[in-house]
């Protein structure tokens, strides 16, 4: 903590008197001009804030420690086997240490995130621990890029300013650069010289070792979608733009968990063929699943985000600003929006599942991921606490 600086009175520079007085100047004739009415300056209109105390985060204390959000529609997850969770965590920690992905001081956050438990809950149909570990590596790398490049409040170098340049290089860590041999070597050295880039590159390499080229390419494109969402959110933060609710939800369709869900077939040991995956109705249920589980993240991380930055944009904040209501009413409205999206996913995926055993398997994998991700949020009290709204 730096010492307080002493206050210094400002110095006013007074011009010296001239040694010889200047001779008087004759008046300058000016043409008559019509009087211009200058309106009185109006005071700046303060930005609208939700009803309540100046710091919304303080009004949320004491908070509920955890458990499911009352009224939130969700399906039970397949329980995570403790031995499998421990083995995935052990492998992920060894991998992160081998590639020097983050300093030792962050190890507590690594443990608190519970990467192993997250992927075991999200992929109950995984073929083996190797594929679970690969999913965990991708999840860890995505969070490392988000934390170090995007999230200013986490204090790890993230900032909206200049984010596009950093994310272009991050995309190149999984979507290799092709050019003159000397420049390719510079690219390789650049990727290896940065922890977040290194994590992306190594995680993608391990995933591609068992995924088909089509599945790998699918993931690369979904990461590009994610980066586009990061940029949209960063632009609004930098310009202090308050999005409409529909605009916010559009941004979250890109800045969401889609890269994690797009690998469910690869982790489960099969492939949903690209011509099937690309069908509009398959794309729709994929997007609905991703959007529902991303709103879950907004709801469970609500108090955490407000504690770090009371102006952090999330779905309840967007609703409160647009509907001129308090945060509690906005939060409960966000629960309703989630339930509508979740209901659409379940209804439409059930219809599609009846058309093909392969589509049924894929839809089941999406549903399992959504259920497992909810369970991870609801029980991870190291990261999430619910507002005391019930």
pLDDT tens by residue, 153-192:
666 677 888 999 999 999 999 999 999 999 999 999 999 9
Quick one: pLDDT at residue 51? 47
Cis omega (within 30 of 0) for bond into 148 = no
Q: What is the mean pLDDT of residues 117-136?
A: 98
What is the pLDDT of the chain when averaged over all its residues?
86
Residues 6+ away with beta carbon under 8 Å from 99: 198, 199, 202
Quick one: pLDDT at residue 152? 73
More confident residue, 197 or 104: 197
Residue tagged 């310009």 (tokens) = 239
Determine contact, residues 296/338, Cβ cutoff 8 Å. Answer: yes
Which band of pLDDT confidence, cut at 50, 70 and 90, is reported for residue 115? Answer: very high
Determine contact, residues 88/134, Cβ cutoff 8 Å. Answer: no
Instruction: List the one residue out of 304, 300, 312 whose CA is nearest residue 373.
Output: 300
Residue 43 backbone dihedrals phi, psi, to 5 degrees: -65, 145
Instruction: List the one residue out of 278, 309, 26 whose CA is nearest residue 151.
Output: 309
Determine contact, residues 369/261, Cβ cutoff 8 Å. Answer: yes
Nearest 5°: CA angle at 367, between 132 and 245? 110
pLDDT of residue 20 exceeding 50, the answer is no
Quick one: pLDDT at residue 56? 53
CA distance 121 to 125: 10
Question: Of all residues in the chain, what percent carry a pLDDT higher than 70?
Answer: 82
Q: Write out pLDDT tens, residues 55-102.
A: 555 555 545 667 999 999 999 999 999 999 999 999 999 999 999 888
Q: Write out pLDDT tens, residues 225-271.
A: 999 999 999 999 999 999 999 999 999 999 999 999 999 999 999 99
Q: How far is CA 344 from CA 245, 289, 293, 350, 351, in A?
A: 19, 9, 13, 10, 11
Q: What is the mean pLDDT of residues 348-355?
A: 98
Instruction: List the one residue out of 368, 358, 345, 350 whose CA is nearest residue 264.
Output: 368
Question: Of all residues in the chain, what percent carry a pLDDT higher than 90?
Answer: 73
CA distance 226 to 194: 20
pTM, two decimals, is: 0.83
In DSSP terms, 64 is beta-bridged to 386
Which band of pLDDT confidence, cut at 50, 70 and 90, is reported for residue 308? Answer: confident
Q: Write out pLDDT tens, residues 21-66.
A: 444 444 433 334 334 344 454 444 444 454 444 455 555 554 566 7
Residue 33 backbone dihedrals phi, psi, to 5 degrees: -120, 145
Q: What is the mean pLDDT of residues 280-288?
A: 98
pLDDT of residue 2 exceeding 60, the answer is no
Q: What is the mean pLDDT of residues 215-232?
A: 98
């Amino acid at each position: 903590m730096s010492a307080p600086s002493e206050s210094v009175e400002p110095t006013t520079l007074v011009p010296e008197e001239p040694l010889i007085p200047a001779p008087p100047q004759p008046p300058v004739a000016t043409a008559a001009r019509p009087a211009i009415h200058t309106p009185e300056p109006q005071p700046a209109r303060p930005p609208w804030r939700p009803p309540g105390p100046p710091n919304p985060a303080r009004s949320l204390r004491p908070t509920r420690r955890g458990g499911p959000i009352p009224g939130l529609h969700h399906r039970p997850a397949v329980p995570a086997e403790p031995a499998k969770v421990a083995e995935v965590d052990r492998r992920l920690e060894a991998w992160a240490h081998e590639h020097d992905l983050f300093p030792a001081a962050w190890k507590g956050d690594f443990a608190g995130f519970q990467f192993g438990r997250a992927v075991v809950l999200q992929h109950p149909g995984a073929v083996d621990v190797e594929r679970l570990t690969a999913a965990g590596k991708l999840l860890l790398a995505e969070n490392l890029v988000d934390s170090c490049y995007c999230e200013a409040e986490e204090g790890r170098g993230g900032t909206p300013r200049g984010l596009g340049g950093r994310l272009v290089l991050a995309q190149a860590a999984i979507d290799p650069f092709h050019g003159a041999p000397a420049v390719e070597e510079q690219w390789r050295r650049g990727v290896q010289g940065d922890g977040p880039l290194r994590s992306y590159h190594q995680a993608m390499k391990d995933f591609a070792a068992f995924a088909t080229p089509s599945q790998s390419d699918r993931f690369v494109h979904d990461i590009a979608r994610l980066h586009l969402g990061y940029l949209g959110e960063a632009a609004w933060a930098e310009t202090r733009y308050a999005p409409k609710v529909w605009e916010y939800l559009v941004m979250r369709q890109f800045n969401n968990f889609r890269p994690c869900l797009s690998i469910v077939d690869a982790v489960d040991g099969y492939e949903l063929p690209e011509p099937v995956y690309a069908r509009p109705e398959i794309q729709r249920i994929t997007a609905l699943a991703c959007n529902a589980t991303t709103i879950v993240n907004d709801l469970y991380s609500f108090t955490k985000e407000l504690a770090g930055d009371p102006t952090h944009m999330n779905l309840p904040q967007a609703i409160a600003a647009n509907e001129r209501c308090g945060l509690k009413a906005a939060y409960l409205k966000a629960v309703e929006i989630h339930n509508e999206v979740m209901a659409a996913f379940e209804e439409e995926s059930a219809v599609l599942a009846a058309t093909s055993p392969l589509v049924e398997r894929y839809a089941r994998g999406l549903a399992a991921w959504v259920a497992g991700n909810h369970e991870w949020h609801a029980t991870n009290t190291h990261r999430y606490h619910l507002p005391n709204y019930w």
